[in-house]
Structure 1
Amino acid sequence: MSSVLDFYKYLHTIPELGHQEFKTAAFLADRLEKYGFQVTRNIGGSTGIVGIYDSKQPGPTLALRADMDALGSMVDGVVAANHTCGHDAHSSMVLAAAKELLETNAIQKGKLKILFQPAEEIGTGALSMIKAGVIDDVDIILGQHVRPYQETPMGKAAGAVYYSASTRIIAKITGLTAHGARPHLGINAIDAATAAITAVNAIHLDPALSYSAKATRFICDTSVTNVIPDEANVTWDLRAEKNSTMKQLCEFVEKAILAGAATVGATASVAIVNPIPAAEFDQTIIDVLKKSIIATLGENGLQPDIFTPGGEDFNFFKQYKPTIQAGFIGLGCDLKPGLHHPAMHFNLDALPTGVAILVHATKQILG
């Protein structure tokens, strides 16, 4: 129990941004080597870490994945790293589980791979690991995330967290500059951007589907106030419970932006940025995780599956290797006031529970 708390207390003091997790990765890699794993560092030219333990007996290859990066928070006008999403907790639990599994000689067949992944928050960390080939031989992959108290209370856990697809669409809207006294000679990019936002807001997909599309950033500044602006940049945040819905939503949003800008004579170029897929899990693995939750917390500790509009780049693993069996646990820990909040905190007593669930699940698969 003390190991996971010690790991967490140290990692919490060295938050690092995506692809810059140098101290974090070094600490995790050093510990894995100490415990008996074959370790590869700097995966994909970044900070990713892979630890392998081969039982030398026939069996599946199971990966336990944890993210390492912190969020960037604005403090006194400067962006500073801050662990406000619990990735330090995730890494601590996976490291403690790895340590316990080898110390107790629990791996009796197959291979155990420990994946410490960079840059989940910016959506590029899982892809860097995938492109480096780390899941080529993986049959099963498990992940875990601490959950807000409103969703999963302390003493409970969910056997599956169904994250939604999330996408950013960025539009550069181009009009025609003119003097403020002669607006008829120009095309106001603000008017065009406003028309594009209104057009996106008017999109209606099947109401039985879960989705949203909303403008979250609008930049237009000529630095003076008597000029018709000729350029605006607008970003939309898109969410959808299913990947098929996201595909349809992106198509509709792109058409709406182009058509909206055109209503005042402007043009627009549209870029889809950092699309993250929705979760697709395997019932066999979900059943394993639920059994482990019940074994750890009792029947009352298992809560229904979670469906969230949040995104998680763990879902790239299944997208890029459809044959991989994936599962993802939601851990209750009395997390308040919410994920990504500058004052986020949670009950550290939940960390040993997360370790126990991972250990139990691994034993079911490789024991």
Structure 2
Amino acid sequence: MESVSNNLQQTLEAVFNHLHTHPEISWEEHDTTAYIKKLFEPYDCHITTFDDSPGLVIEIGHGKPVIGLRADIDALWQEVNGKFQANHSCGHDAHMTIVIGTLLTLLENGYPDQGTFRFIFQPAEEKGTGALAFVEKGIVDDVDFLYGMHLRPVEELGHEQFAPAIRHGAARFLKGTIRGDDAHGARPHLNANAIEIGAEFVQHLNNIHINPMVPHSAKMTAFQADGGSTNIIPGSATFSLDLRAQTNDAMRQLTEKIELIANMLADYHHVSIDLETGANIAAAVTNDEAIQVMTDAITTSAGENKLKNAITTTGGDDFHFYTIKRPHLKATMLAIGCDLTPGLHHPDMTFKREIIPQAVQVLATALTKTGKTYAQ
């Protein structure tokens, strides 16, 4: 695979700058979708958009194998310099740019005569619902290999280092509601104090024990019971729980124990406690063949000294729903080292942008290798 041309490198810089300065949150990525669509309208490729959803799919080539490359396109909503706004602090602006660059590279340098290359620009990764929605649209039903990517913090990979797989853990976000009666501050015997129930819930979370060899955590990340009056004992409250586990089975065990805690406290205090899943992200399911292709692509494009072992992280990504819902998929995610600091989701996250063309080369090589190796 030839190196990225100067013209393409300038294009990628312009694309990244636009995407970085025009972030859109989950399920609102309409301008982002229109921008990417406009970029490729002059080219000989098939573009699919959706009436009921942002995001798009761009396809070139024909026949088997069908090789997918996915970019997540949404931004986070967070406080930046005292103002709440959409913000690409998870690197999705870079992911989009890399996938755009990979497609432009194949269009510029050529690709195998046999094989379909499908570029998936997926919304709502941060909500954990975008991949599931695209699965339901049938976008990966005929895909044989599926690749993704993610920038990695400096603690995991150094600059210009790459790993052929990211073994994400599972993540689940629960919203809880305690419903009871308020009481006068002078009559605490007439109700169950929702704040005290919340404190008990936290204590029981800390007493959960599952296999300590499997990384996991369960913590309360929000609690609201303030009605504005200091002489009222609140009977109702809302709260949020953040669950993490390295395996899907460990996540199942955590969830079952938390449901038992909620039921026990509700029975004891004569209140109702309802739990609702806000987002649910599965742990990684990777494939040895896909990992080997990515390993070869890293050594070919970046050099053997830039290849590192697969990354294991408790962070999550909804990319893995594709393989869980469609088990025939052979999938892996490229881990990209770029001196990313201070960390993913930090409002001031930065990384070395010169990694973008290098990542383009690795993925373009992976796609062409897959097409040539598995052509039917």
TM-score normalised over the length of structure 2? 0.93
Q: Distance in 1 between matches of 2:17 and 2:309?
A: 31
Give the Å deviation of 1:77: 6.3
Amino acid at match of 1:187: A
Which residue of 1 is the match for residue 133 of structure 2? 128
Which residue of 1 is the match for residue 359 of structure 2? 354
Which residue of 1 is the match for residue 46 of structure 2? 38
Which one of the candidate residues 167, 170, 178 is aligned to 1:173? Answer: 178
Q: Distance in 1 between matches of 2:150 and 2:268?
A: 45
Give the Å deviation of 1:204: 0.5
Which deviates more, 34-43 or 14-23? 34-43
Give the Å deviation of 1:262: 3.7
Which one of the candidate residues 16, 35, 59 is aligned to 1:52? Answer: 59
Q: Distance in 2 between matches of 1:324 and 1:217?
A: 37
Which one of the candidate residues 215, 238, 242 is aligned to 2:243? Answer: 238
Which one of the candidate residues 9, 15, 22 is aligned to 1:7? Answer: 15
RMSD (Å) for aligned C-alpha atoms: 1.5
**Secondary structure of the structure 2 residue equivalent to 1:35:** coil
Amino acid at match of 1:277: A
Contact in 2 for aligned 1:156/1:331 (Cα 8 Å): yes
Amino acid at match of 2:23: P
Contact in 2 for aligned 1:50/1:113 (Cα 8 Å): yes
Q: Distance in 2 between matches of 1:13 and 1:179?
A: 51
Q: Distance in 2 between matches of 1:144 and 1:33?
A: 25
Q: Distance in 2 between matches of 1:257 and 1:63?
A: 42
Contact in 2 for aligned 1:169/1:271 (Cα 8 Å): yes
Q: Distance in 2 between matches of 1:225 and 1:69?
A: 40
Q: Distance in 2 between matches of 1:174 and 1:72?
A: 29
Give the Å deviation of 1:78: 4.9
Which residue of 2 is the match for residue 18 of structure 1? 26
Q: Distance in 1 between matches of 2:87 and 2:277?
A: 28
**Secondary structure of the structure 1 residue equivalent to 2:275:** strand
Q: Distance in 2 between matches of 1:35 and 1:301?
A: 33
Which residue of 2 is the match for residue 206 of structure 1? 211
Give the Å deviation of 1:324: 0.8
Give the Å deviation of 1:59: 2.1
Give the Å deviation of 1:30: 1.8
Amino acid at match of 1:226: N
Which one of the candidate residues 194, 199, 202 is aligned to 1:197? Answer: 202
Give the Å deviation of 1:313: 0.8
1:89 has 2:94 as partner:
yes
**Secondary structure of the structure 2 residue equivalent to 1:271:** strand
Q: Encode CA deviations 1:329-356: one digit per residue, 9 max, x unaligned.
A: 1001111111111111111110011100
Contact in 1 for aligned 2:177/2:275 (Cα 8 Å): yes
Q: Distance in 2 between matches of 1:125 and 1:267?
A: 32
Which residue of 1 is the match for residue 312 of structure 2? 307
Amino acid at match of 1:147: R
Gaps of 5+ in 1: none
Give the Å deviation of 1:304: 1.1
Contact in 2 for aligned 1:218/1:234 (Cα 8 Å): yes
Give the Å deviation of 1:194: 1.3
**Secondary structure of the structure 1 residue equivalent to 2:262:** helix
Q: Distance in 1 between matches of 2:53 and 2:82?
A: 28
Amino acid at match of 1:110: G
Which one of the candidate residues 155, 158, 161 is aligned to 2:163? Answer: 158
Contact in 1 for aligned 2:61/2:113 (Cα 8 Å): no
Q: Encode CA deviations 1:57-112: one digit per residue, 9 max, x unaligned.
A: x4210011001111112257653111111111111111111011122221321211
Contact in 1 for aligned 2:55/2:122 (Cα 8 Å): yes
Q: Distance in 2 between matches of 1:272 and 1:73?
A: 21
1:337 has 2:342 as partner:
yes
Q: Encode CA deviations 1:251-284: one digit per residue, 9 max, x unaligned.
A: 0111122223444443312223311100101011
Contact in 2 for aligned 1:174/1:268 (Cα 8 Å): yes
Which one of the candidate residues 270, 274, 279 is aligned to 1:274? Answer: 279
**Secondary structure of the structure 1 residue equivalent to 2:41:** helix
Amino acid at match of 2:276: A
Amino acid at match of 1:146: L
Amino acid at match of 2:157: T
Q: Encode CA deviations 1:194-222: one digit per residue, 9 max, x unaligned.
A: 11221121110111121110111111012
Q: Encode CA deviations 1:295-348: one digit per residue, 9 max, x unaligned.
A: 122111011111111110111111110111111010011111111111111111
Gaps of 5+ in 2: 1-8
Q: Encode CA deviations 1:22-62: one digit per residue, 9 max, x unaligned.
A: 2211121122232321001136x11110111133xx42100
